[in-house]
Amino acid sequence: MSEPHNRLRLVRAGIDTYQQPVVYMHRDCHVCRSEGFTALTRVLARSGDREVIATLNVVVDDHLALNVAALSEAAWQVLKPDPDAWATFSHAEPPASAAALRAKVFGQRLDDTDFLALMQDAVANRLSDIELTAFVTACAGDRLDNDETIALTKAMLAVGERIEWGGGPVLDKHCVGGLPGNRTTPIVVAIIAAAGHRIPKTSSRAITSPAGTADAMEVMAPVALDIDAMRRVVEREGGCIVWGGNVRLSPADDLLIRIEHPLDFDSDGQLVASVLSKKAAAGSTHALIDIPVGPTAKVRSAAAAASLEARLLVTAQALGLHLTVMRTDGAQPVGYGIGPALEARDVLSVLRNEAEAPRDLRNRALDIAGALLDAVPGAEPGKGRAQAHMLLDSGAALAKFLAICEAQGGFTEPKPAPHLRPVLANRTGRIERIDNRRLARIAKLAGAPGSAAAGIDCRVRIGNSVRSGEPLFQIHAQTPGELEYAFGYATAHPDVFEIGAAG
Amino acid sequence: MSEPHNRLRLVRAGIDTYQQPVVYMHRDCHVCRSEGFTALTRVLARSGDREVIATLNVVVDDHLALNVAALSEAAWQVLKPDPDAWATFSHAEPPASAAALRAKVFGQRLDDTDFLALMQDAVANRLSDIELTAFVTACAGDRLDNDETIALTKAMLAVGERIEWGGGPVLDKHCVGGLPGNRTTPIVVAIIAAAGHRIPKTSSRAITSPAGTADAMEVMAPVALDIDAMRRVVEREGGCIVWGGNVRLSPADDLLIRIEHPLDFDSDGQLVASVLSKKAAAGSTHALIDIPVGPTAKVRSAAAAASLEARLLVTAQALGLHLTVMRTDGAQPVGYGIGPALEARDVLSVLRNEAEAPRDLRNRALDIAGALLDAVPGAEPGKGRAQAHMLLDSGAALAKFLAICEAQGGFTEPKPAPHLRPVLANRTGRIERIDNRRLARIAKLAGAPGSAAAGIDCRVRIGNSVRSGEPLFQIHAQTPGELEYAFGYATAHPDVFEIGAAG
């Protein structure tokens, strides 16, 4: 049926609604009237042989003509209309997975078929943000058991691409975030690739943090490679560090994360499905998960870490993925810098074996690389760390890192920020605790990650003694306004560093 | 702090996003850049002494200048900016109730304080649609116990206005929807007011159904009265039937319903809080809840009805509200008409004691009015139905109804639709079942409730015998296109009426 009464010409609204397709129609247009559409109606738009389900926003003034429908960027990308193309509009039927969603919300267990239907509808944009949120919430806490976690992981894997690397081990690592500055990835990838192994690493940009690995890496080399370019880099150098957003290895995960982050939900089931679906999609055979544990890290207790570890291991086994889990100290930042360029500087400092390189970052990178080398089939157990050490000290890891940067498009030295200001201790004593979350917030107020050079340079550590008036950290910013903004917040929250009695 | 770097001039976007405040900024504007705003960022906008938290949509073409921020209708109504007013923009802090929301999502019980904080943030527009959805989902199924239901109801009541009527009983009724055509309310209000009691009734418009009571009533009299106008009508005539949307008796409920409806969640706890918070806010002292039970009604089994009834009674008691619950047959539509004008016609036919008036609608209205009259303090038990009968038969109820219409702005006789087409039985036999949901869908495709005259006129009932080729119902529509659209759906779904072996 293509009744003229439900047709409108398509125009581009030029509005980015972050993945959710939105269609804008005038309240008085003949389609709204004949179809009974009102604001937030789920509308099926068909143009040529393409279709998209979009949420309706109703235009009430004369910015939009009566005979057109405007599409948000997400809707435009799906329909890809020709100039002057028309679309027909109708009420969207409930998605096929609506019954499964409802069952989960009402506390029932779902099986493989249910999760597959849900993930298929998700990546086909047939679920509204409201429906995705209901799914995420219904799976939060302990509402996914192990079997459901495995089913969800497999479903997320099934609806995306999966890279095949041919035979042989493919290594990978991942850190369950929450620790500012913990930028081990570029160092680990350089060591593993220098050892002759394959490690095709995709990383995320910051979502709520001052820098993701992709942001820090982008200071030194291009990271927005597509899947073919990534494959060429890995075939040439053994490793890469690219932004996962362009590779889209787990598109279902990208959609769910977009809902989970503003809610700050970090349930084990969803975290495991998110991490392991991406590893498996990347074609990994041997992966290491770093879980920093600390009072202001993402995982806050040993019990929480143990529960997460168990869930990771059982799910990895079901996927045929060899997994090593490493729990690390998450009490304070790692390295000196927090922010893309400052973290990149630390990475280079470690790779260059500079005397002032942050030892905590260096040691963590060696621990992780060593454990990964131990996990490779045929490796002599316990020799991995010594091998990693040798590859780093010899300059082989640095050479490999620079070669990877070249293969990704060329190396660039990080540039410092033009505006600096220290934040001073307001008493003399010993550093007892550091609030990672507040520290990250200051770095963000200073402009990170939007301004790559912005962030924090912090050299004091728990156990260090400081004197009143000595600097606790430096704020780096691109503009004086941002510098003052971050400084204002830092001075209003002197408890970011808890300073005990003078030691 | 009012840094110039986070100021933009305000313009009206003219976009209706259905209550969720949205702000539109150009991707390259200085505020997006300096504050690090991206699509879906939660933004705090301050202008003069007003503020609003809005969701950011990013404009990527030149429709929007770099020095302005455009506000959706919901955001514009809150800020009410003067011409050429500016606003400052910053990242919104998480709402005060974020911890309570998170606790509920993770399965903890909430107390009075938690629910109050959540409802305060909801009505102040400090919760995004994603947060509201998480709350609704976390409370779905059996995840609210009786104490939490009571706490949520009280919180919803506390954040809205409450009408005081002075002393004496204030009566009310409500039907837990799902039954097409069940338009008893205008008849019940007329009888109760004719009996000399006070019954200030607010009703909803259709959200997913072909007609709400407010839609049917609006065919006969204005219903968009504000709270002062409503009070004047009730003081003059004892009763009213007005649209609740303009009275905004439970603004928190309006926000939650907006999320619950697209999800089709109907958990007991939320349903009870929604219904009873509105009754208490309206100042009711004695209310009756009609629960139609049937396989395609909202409440599908006797067990589900019993559970809902128990929850309603315990919550009403906690609020000091006298409640009568009546379970009714929900197997098939009530009255002949489905759609605003067709239902209004049935109501008038009953009030006018016409010979062809639908007996099922008349009997239900008498049952409900009788039970309400029995519940009034000092009433002689069991005499209510006879009194209701007398008031209806004598014409007193009709006179009162017309007087209420006059007080609300004037009575209008419903107008029939210009286009009709019968849907015929495709076999001879006895009507075994009627699918209320599909029938409602046909009425909506015909144009109800947007076109008031559109809908369905259906005179066959379960147990009736029909012959192949006889009409099952008539479709009424305002345009030939809608008539064909609804007819096409009806013929594609002949199982709306299940016709058994010829009886």
Inter-residue contact A214 to A203 (CB < 8 Å): yes
Which H or E run includes B57? Answer: strand B50-59
Judged by CB atoms closer than 8 Å, whether chains meet at B61 and A136 is answered as: no
Give the model's pLDDT for residue B38.
78
Rounded distance between C-alpha atoms, residue A111 and residue A105, angstroms:
14
Which H or E run includes B243? Answer: strand B239-243
The residue type found at A154 is K
The residue type found at B118 is L
Closest by CA to A288, choosing from A386, A151, A385, is A385
Angle at A189 between CA A380 and CA A200, to 5 degrees: 100
Q: Which residue of A has its CA nearest to B15?
A: A59
In chain A, residues with a C-beta closer than 8 Å to the C-beta of B485 are 3
Closest by CA to A132, choosing from B208, B53, B130, B84, is B130
Inter-residue contact A257 to A278 (CB < 8 Å): no
Judged by CB atoms closer than 8 Å, whether chains meet at B481 and A38 is answered as: no
Q: Which residue has the higher pLDDT, A317 or B444?
A: A317
Q: Which residue of A has its CA nearest to B488?
A: A1
Inter-residue contact B438 to B496 (CB < 8 Å): yes
The answer, yes or no, to whether the previous bond of B449 is cis (omega within 30 of 0) is yes
At residue A4, does pLDDT exceed 60?
A: no
- The 3-class secondary structure across B108-171, one letter per residue, is CCCCHHHHHHHHHHHHCCCCCHHHHHHHHHHCCCCCCCHHHHHHHHHHHHHCCCCCCCCCCCEE
Q: C-alpha distances in angstroms, B495 versus A92, A316, B420, B434?
A: 22, 48, 21, 8
Angle at A440 between CA A437 and CA A446, to 5 degrees: 145
Inter-residue contact A26 to A65 (CB < 8 Å): yes
In chain A, residues with a C-beta closer than 8 Å to the C-beta of B256 are none
Rounded distance between C-alpha atoms, residue B243 and residue B246, angstroms:
6
Which H or E run includes A114? Answer: helix A112-123
Total count of residues recorded for chain B: 503
Confidence category of residue A5, pLDDT binned at 50, 70, 90: low
Nearest-CA distance A358 → chain B (Å)? 29
Confidence category of residue A178, pLDDT binned at 50, 70, 90: low
Q: Which of B17, B59, B140 sits opposite A105 (nearest CB)?
A: B140
- Share of residues in chain A with pLDDT > 70 (%): 98
Rounded distance between C-alpha atoms, residue A217 and residue A228, angstroms:
19
At residue A2, does pLDDT exceed 50?
A: no
- Of A24-33, A349-358, A431-440, B462-471, least confident by mean pLDDT is A24-33
Inter-residue contact B369 to B388 (CB < 8 Å): yes
Q: Which of A14, A63, A129 sits opposite B130 (nearest CB)?
A: A129
Tokens linked to A363:
């040691």
Mean pLDDT of chain A: 92
At residue B13, does pLDDT exceed 70?
A: yes
Judged by CB atoms closer than 8 Å, whether chains meet at A262 and B40 is answered as: yes
Quick: pLDDT tens for A225-255: 999 999 999 999 999 999 987 787 888 988 8
Handedness of CA B249, B251, B252, B254 (dihedral sign): positive
Closest by CA to B342, choosing from B244, B440, B424, B261, is B440
**Beta bridge partner(s), residue B57:** B24
Confidence category of residue B3, pLDDT binned at 50, 70, 90: very low
Tokens linked to B47:
């202008």
- Dihedrals phi, psi of B380, to nearest 5 degrees: -85, 115
Quick: pLDDT tens for B43-97: 999 998 999 999 999 898 887 888 899 999 999 999 999 988 999 998 888 899 9
Judged by CB atoms closer than 8 Å, whether chains meet at A482 and B131 is answered as: no
At residue B220, does pLDDT exceed 80?
A: yes
Inter-residue contact B204 to B253 (CB < 8 Å): no
Give the model's pLDDT for residue A3.
45
Rounded distance between C-alpha atoms, residue A298 and residue A288, angstroms:
17
Confidence category of residue B178, pLDDT binned at 50, 70, 90: low
Q: C-alpha distances in angstroms, B315 versus B119, B151, B155, B200, B361?
A: 18, 9, 13, 21, 29
Inter-residue contact A460 to A222 (CB < 8 Å): no
Of A114, A172, A266, A268, the active-site residue reads A266
Contacts of A315 by beta carbon, 8 Å cutoff, 6+ apart: A146, A149, A150, A153, A272, A273, A276
- Share of residues in chain B with pLDDT > 90 (%): 73
In chain B, residues with a C-beta closer than 8 Å to the C-beta of A130 are 129, 133, 259, 262-263
Judged by CB atoms closer than 8 Å, whether chains meet at B3 and A447 is answered as: no
Give the model's pLDDT for residue B181.
86
Give the model's pLDDT for residue A1.
39
Q: Which of A1, A16, A106 sits opposite B58 (nearest CB)?
A: A16
Q: Which of B17, B138, B481 sits opposite A3 (nearest CB)?
A: B481
Judged by CB atoms closer than 8 Å, whether chains meet at B57 and A447 is answered as: no
- Share of residues in chain A with pLDDT > 90 (%): 73
Rounded distance between C-alpha atoms, residue B213 and residue B40, angstroms:
37
Judged by CB atoms closer than 8 Å, whether chains meet at B61 and A14 is answered as: yes
Rounded distance between C-alpha atoms, residue A289 and residue A172, angstroms:
9
The residue among B1, B15, B270 with the most chain A CBs within 10 A of its CB, best to mutate, is B15
Give the model's pLDDT for residue A287.
97
In chain A, residues with a C-beta closer than 8 Å to the C-beta of B40 are 17-18, 258, 262
Rounded distance between C-alpha atoms, residue A304 and residue A298, angstroms:
10
Give the model's pLDDT for residue B45.
94
Give the model's pLDDT for residue A257.
84
In chain A, residues with a C-beta closer than 8 Å to the C-beta of B24 are 15
Rounded distance between C-alpha atoms, residue A190 and residue A350, angstroms:
11
Confidence category of residue B40, pLDDT binned at 50, 70, 90: confident
What is the Cα Rg of chain A in Å?
Answer: 25
Nearest-CA distance B416 → chain A (Å)? 18
Rounded distance between C-alpha atoms, residue A248 and residue B157, angstroms:
47
Tokens linked to A23:
């269609």
- Of A278-287, A451-460, B276-285, B436-445, least confident by mean pLDDT is B436-445
Q: What is the dihedral of CA A325, A330, A333, A338, to 10 degrees?
A: 60
Angle at A402 between CA A396 and CA A405, to 5 degrees: 140
Nearest-CA distance B190 → chain A (Å)? 31
In chain A, residues with a C-beta closer than 8 Å to the C-beta of B18 are 38-40, 58
Residues A348-366: what's their mean pLDDT?
A: 97
Contacts of B172 by beta carbon, 8 Å cutoff, 6+ apart: B199, B200, B201, B279, B282, B284, B286, B287, B288
Rounded distance between C-alpha atoms, residue A4 and residue B195, angstroms:
53
Q: Which of B59, B106, B141 sits opposite A107 (nearest CB)?
A: B141
Residues A365-373: what's their mean pLDDT?
A: 97
Confidence category of residue B5, pLDDT binned at 50, 70, 90: low
Total count of residues recorded for chain A: 503
Which parts of A288-445 fold into alpha helices (H)? 302-319, 340-351, 359-375, 384-393, 396-408, 436-445
Closest by CA to B172, choosing from B127, B222, B122, B239, is B239
Residues of B taking part in catalysis: 266
Beta strands per DSSP E along B364-496: 419-424, 429-434, 455-457, 465-466, 471-477
Which parts of A265-339 fold into alpha helices (H)? 268-281, 302-319
Rounded distance between C-alpha atoms, residue A137 and residue B152, angstroms:
19
Q: Which of A140, A142, A262 sits opposite B128 (nearest CB)?
A: A262
Judged by CB atoms closer than 8 Å, whether chains meet at B17 and A38 is answered as: no
Judged by CB atoms closer than 8 Å, whether chains meet at B133 and A138 is answered as: no
Give the model's pLDDT for residue A502.
63
Give the model's pLDDT for residue B161.
86
Tokens linked to A477:
């910013």
CB atoms within 10 A of CB B283: 17
CB atoms within 10 A of CB A104: 25
Nearest-CA distance B200 → chain A (Å)? 29
CA atoms within 13 A of residue A374's CA, in its CB half-sphere: 17
Q: What is the ipTM of this complex?
A: 0.83
Closest by CA to A202, choosing from A265, A252, A275, A285, is A275
Domains of chain A: 4-91 (2.40.40.20), 171-249+273-408 (3.40.1030.10), 419-499 (3.90.1170.30)
Give the model's pLDDT for residue A206.
81
Residues A93-108: what's their mean pLDDT?
A: 91
Give the model's pLDDT for residue B72.
92
Q: C-alpha distances in angstroms, B73 versus B68, B79, B257?
A: 16, 10, 19
Quick: pLDDT tens for A32-49: 877 778 777 889 999 999
Inter-residue contact A191 to A392 (CB < 8 Å): yes
Judged by CB atoms closer than 8 Å, whether chains meet at B39 and A17 is answered as: yes
Rounded distance between C-alpha atoms, residue A142 and residue A134, angstroms:
15
